Amino acid sequence: MGLEVLAGCLIGLLIVRWVLRRVNGWYYEVMRLGQKRYDLPPGDLGWPFIGNMVSFLRAFKSSDPDSFVSTFVNRFGHTGLYKVHMFGNPGIIVTTAEACRKVLTDDEHFKPGWPSSTVHLIGKKSFVDISDEEHKWLRKLTAAPVNGHEALTVYMKYIEDNVVTALEKWAGMGQIEFLTELESLRSR
C-alpha cells in the first residue's frame, strides 16, 4: 500500500512539474498572441514568473557563462535564435553572427524598436523612436546648426552646468529615484 501511494505521489509530482514548465509557453504563445500566430523559434520559456532566470544566473555565476546558450543549442539544435523568458518578459536571444545579420538587416520580418522604458526616458519624439522619413527630415533640419566645433562648445558649457547642478542636488538628497531625476535633467 505504501509503495503504491509513493508511486502515485511521484507520478503526480512529475505531471505537475510538466504542466508548470509549459504554463509560460501556453500563456504567451496561445493567450497573448491569439490570432497573431508567428513562427517562433524553438526554445523554452521556463517556469512561470521566473522563466529562465535561474539557469541564466547559474551560468553567469559559474566559470562558463556560455553554458546558458549551450543548453539551448544542445536541446533545440543550431538555429541561432531561441525563445526565452528572462527579466520578467518573453524574448528571443540571438546566438550566431548569421542570425544577427538576418535580424538586423531584414526589415520586412523584424520591426526595429526600443523597450518602453527607453522610449519613456528619451521621449516619444526623439530620434530614437521615429520613422525613417521623420528621421531624415529632422536630421536635415537639426544637423546643420548643431554640427561644427563652435556649436558644440556653446552646448557643452550649457550641458556641463546643468549636469553639475543636478549632481550637486542629488548628492544632498540621499537616495534618489534615478530614472525620475534623469528625466528632469533631460527636460531642462
- Residue percentage of the chain with pLDDT more than 90: 5
Q: Is the model's pLDDT at 77 over the cut of 70?
A: yes
Whole-number Å distance between alpha carbons of 28 and 26 = 6
**pLDDT at site 107:** 78
Top-confidence residue, 98 or 114 = 98
Q: Please, which residues bridge with residue 47 across strands?
A: 51
Phi, psi at residue 106, to the nearest 5°? -95, 85
3-class SS letters over 74-124: HHHCCCCEEEEEECCEEEEEECCHHHHHHHHHCCCCCCCCCCHHHHHHHCC
Whole-number Å distance between alpha carbons of 141 and 151 = 15
In tens, the pLDDT along 35-45 reads 666 677 888 88
Least Cα distance to 91 among 128, 57, 40 occurs for: 40
Whole-number Å distance between alpha carbons of 160 and 70 = 46
- Residue percentage of the chain with pLDDT more than 70: 81
Question: Which residues lie below 8 Å from residue 56, measured CB to CB, with a gap of 6+?
Answer: 68, 86
58-67, 83-92, 148-157: range with lowest mean pLDDT: 148-157
The β-bridge relationship of strands 89-94 and 81-86 is antiparallel
**pLDDT at site 22:** 67
**pLDDT at site 164:** 92
Least Cα distance to 186 among 123, 100, 139, 99 occurs for: 123
Average pLDDT of the residues of the chain: 80
**pLDDT at site 33:** 61
**pLDDT at site 30:** 65
